[in-house]
Amino acid sequence: MQILVVHGPNLNLLGTREPEVYGAHTLKQIDDDLRQKAQEAGAQLDTFQSNHEGALVDRIQAAGRDGTRFIIINPAAYTHTSVAIRDALAAVALPFVEVHLSNIHRRESFRHHSYVSELAVGVICGLGPLGYQLALQYALNHRGA
Ligand code: DQA
């Protein structure tokens, strides 16, 4: 079971970026924790962060060829703007869970719409880093399904 975790723009700044909104965990802490939990469950987990839309599209496209079976994605600001990321997810047709650290529905109205939710197996928002862990648990529980 190969799982890909994709993080969009500015998530490299987690830990120092608006900690009152996004919490104190760094991206490395989140990724290390996910990698360890996946490993304990006998799965392989790869992580990717980029501030560039095209790089995110390229990585999602590669997931369609590299044996990835499940994607966990926080497209960050591109959630609300990117038809290209939505189209890449549709093209590879891999099951994915959309994660947001903050509750996007309690925030500015421009964050309420997501271009990718419609294609997602599920959406988790507002639970901080736990959201990624729950998404991983879902992916592991649905292996082979
Ligand atoms: C985010 C929410 C987005 O609206 C924002 O642009 C982000 C992070 C979240 O994880 O809460 O960068 O995806």
Residue of 16, 74, 103 to mutate, ligand 1, most atoms within 8 A of C-beta = 74
Distance 39 CA to ligand 1 centre (A): 27
Q: Is 114 in the pocket of ligand 1 (CB under 6 A)?
A: no
* CATH number of the domain bearing residue 135: 3.40.50.9100
Total domains in the fold of the chain: 1
Looking at the predicted complex, does its ipTM rise above 0.95? yes
- Expressed as residue numbers, the domain containing 30 is 2-15+23-141
Residue 145 has pLDDT above 60, yes or no: no
Q: What is the pLDDT of residue 144?
A: 62
30-69 residue pLDDT tens: 999 999 999 999 999 999 999 999 999 999 999 999 999 9
Q: Is 101 in the pocket of ligand 1 (CB under 6 A)?
A: yes
Q: Is 87 annotated as a binding residue?
A: yes
Torsion region of 42: left, alpha or beta (phi above 0 gives left; psi -120 to 50 gives alpha): left
List the one residue out of 144, 21, 12, 143 whose CA is nearest residue 74.
Answer: 12
Q: Is 109 annotated as a binding residue?
A: no
Q: What is the pLDDT of residue 143?
A: 78
Structure tokens at 8: 């969009």
The reported pTM is: 0.96
- DSSP track, the chain: -EEEEEE-TTGGGTTTS-HHHH-S--HHHHHHHHHHHHHHTT-EEEEEE-S-HHHHHHHHHHHTTTT--EEEEE-GGGGGT-HHHHHHHHHHT--EEEEESS-GGGS-GGGS--SSGGG-SEEEESSTTHHHHHHHHHHHHTTT-
| Catalytic machinery residues | 22, 100
Q: Is 71 in the pocket of ligand 1 (CB under 6 A)?
A: no
Specify the residue with its C-alpha closest to ligand 1, atom 13. 76
97-113 residue pLDDT tens: 999 999 999 999 999 99
